[in-house]
Amino acid sequence: MLPLPATAGHRRMSTEPNAIESVAVVGAGQMGAGIAQVAARAGLQVVLSDQAESQAAQAVAKLKARLERQESEGKVPPGTAADVVGKIRTGGPLFGVADADLVIEAAPESLELKSALFRSLSALAKPSAILASNTSSLSITRLGRETTRPQLVVGMHFMNPVPVMKLVEVVRGALTAEATLKSVVALADRFGKQSIVSQDRPGFLVNRILIPLLNEACFALEEGVGTKEDIDAGARLGLGHPLGPLELADLIGLDTVLSIAEILHRDFGDPKYRPCAGLRNLVQAGLLGRKTGRGFYVYDQNGKKS
């Protein structure tokens, strides 16, 4: 980790971000693929990279098939799939990062992994490039300190599924410059998204509220207060939620839910955030939800509950 720069020195180093016309998305899982899609749909040039090059190529093949289906159903204009895919190039580790105006990191929710990535991004990206993280809960200030440009480091927390959900939670690290914040808010607007700005606290705003709900549903299941179906129906029909908490946890990925719960628990130091043991068991068994075909529920190849 780099030492916290003194404000004056750090101002001298600072480079105002340029207009954003090219985006590099790092990590081609469910979030990275969705972010690449909305960026390309907004007319930007996109590179999508992953630790495994094949994962990035597969992600684009999947989003192409989905957009072609939506074209045939009349949900998107003809030619959308070809247009979007034509703007996305794929590659292996950190491919295309050096040329991008904005890098959006969407790798797994691990401080160690993201810290290493931010050190590499700091060395590779253009000095004026903004480095954003799609982290659900980790400190943006902490990730900024892995770089020589903390003023250009910001949180861009997209919601799942990215092409559908309207919100981007923009997170201001302690050293994030106002110009950086404004650039990403303007970009989210260009993506057709609505932004909220939150301070850099564990879980920010959205997951501070959501994760205790999902974790509590898991405790209720474990204590036998109700079946998983009744817990989910309770939230859908009684609270007007589009998905029940266990269904939503499966959609997010149980590994991601557990990581966020652990971060809330550790960083607030409050036992009320302790992760439910049943959740940990599912993750240890590799049952991560829809992305692995089984979590609280079992899913078919199209991600439908079976």
**Helix residue spans in the chain (DSSP H):** 7-13, 30-41, 53-72, 80-86, 111-124, 140-144, 178-190, 206-222, 228-239, 245-252, 254-268, 277-284
Catalytic annotation present for 146:
no
**Pick from 60, 63, 16, 38: which is nearest to 187 by CA?**
38
Establish if 151 lies at the interface with ligand NAD (CB under 6 A).
no
Cis preceding-peptide flag for 242 (omega within 30 of 0): no
**Between 51 and 80, whose beta carbon lies closer to ligand NAD?**
51
Catalytic residue chosen out of the listed positions 133, 157, 195, 265: 157
Mapping DSSP to helix (H, G, I), strand (E, B) and coil, where does residue 172 land? strand
Binding string, 50-89, against ligand NAD, x = CB under 6 A?
xxx--x----------------------------------
Subset of 233-262 contacting ligand NAD (CB under 6 A): 252-253, 256
Rounded to an integer, what distance in angstroms lies between the CA atom of residue 68 and that of residue 101? 29
Catalytic annotation present for 18:
no
CB proximity list for 231: less than 8 A, separation 6 or greater: 217, 220, 221, 225, 244, 245, 246
CB of 196 to ligand NAD, least distance (A): 14
**Between 31 and 246, whose beta carbon lies closer to ligand NAD?**
31
Catalytic annotation present for 265:
no
Beta bridge partners of 154: 132
Q: Under rule CB under 6 A, how many of the chain's residues touch ligand NAD?
A: 28
**Between 74 and 302, whose beta carbon lies closer to ligand NAD?**
302
**Pick from 225, 216, 224, 273: which is nearest to 246 by CA?**
216
CB of 271 to ligand NAD, least distance (A): 23
CB of 7 to ligand NAD, least distance (A): 29
* Neighbour tally for 295: CB within 10 Å: 26
Q: Which stretch binds ligand NAD (CB under 6 A): 64-72, 109-117, 270-278, 295-303?
A: 109-117
Rounded to an integer, what distance in angstroms lies between the CA atom of residue 28 and that of residue 251? 16
Establish if 26 lies at the interface with ligand NAD (CB under 6 A).
yes
Establish if 136 lies at the interface with ligand NAD (CB under 6 A).
yes
Interface residue with ligand NAD among 24, 47, 106, 210 (CB under 6 A) is 106
Beta bridge partners of 131: 103, 153
Catalytic annotation present for 178:
no
**Between 152 and 254, whose beta carbon lies closer to ligand NAD?**
254
Interface residue with ligand NAD among 22, 30, 37, 90 (CB under 6 A) is 30
